[in-house]
Homo-oligomer: A and B are copies of this chain.
Amino acid sequence: MQNSEAMALSTALLAVAGELTQRINEGVLARGFEGIRPAHGFAFVRLAPDGATVTELAAHLGVTKQAASQLVDEIVRKGYAERRAHPGDARARLIVLTERGWACTRAAEEAAAEVVRGWGQVLGEGEVRALWRQLGSIAPYGRIRPTW
C-alpha cells in the first residue's frame, strides 16, 4: 500500500473518530449531563468497572497524576464520582462513579449506539461487526491518549 493511501486511510479514520467523539459528547449533553467533556468520558470508562486510583487514571489517560487529580476534583464536584478510602492502602483513594456517573455512562452508550446505527444504515450490520472485529484486533491495550 502506497504512503498516500495509508495517509488517506489515516485521515478517514481520524475524521470518523473526531465525529464520533463530538456526537457522543453532544448526545450526553442533550440527555442533561452538563459540564461534561470527552476527557471525562474516557475517565468514566476506566472508573466504571470497579473504580480506580488517581494514578491508574492518569496512566489510562496519558496525563500526569496532577492533571488526573484535577479532573477527579471536577467530576466529584459535579456529582459524577466520589473519593473513597482505598481498601488495603491508606495512601491511596479509590475513585468510584456515583449513581449519576453510571447514568451518564449509560447516556454515552446510548449516544454511541445512535452513531453506530447510522453506520449500520450505510454499511450494513455485518460490515459494522467486521469493522468492530478489525479495530479490536489492532487496538492498543490499556491506554487511551485523548491528546492530538
Contact = CB atoms under 8 A, between A and B. Distances in A.
A1 B113 contact: yes
B132 A9 contact: yes
A131 B130 CA distance: 9
User: Which size bracket describes the interface of A in this complex?
Assistant: 35 or more
Contacts of A100: none
The main secondary structure of chain A at its interface with chain B is helix
A114 B7 CA distance: 10
Interface string A84-111: 0000000000000000000000101110
A21 interface: yes
A104 to B, nearest CB: 13
A78 B128 CA distance: 42
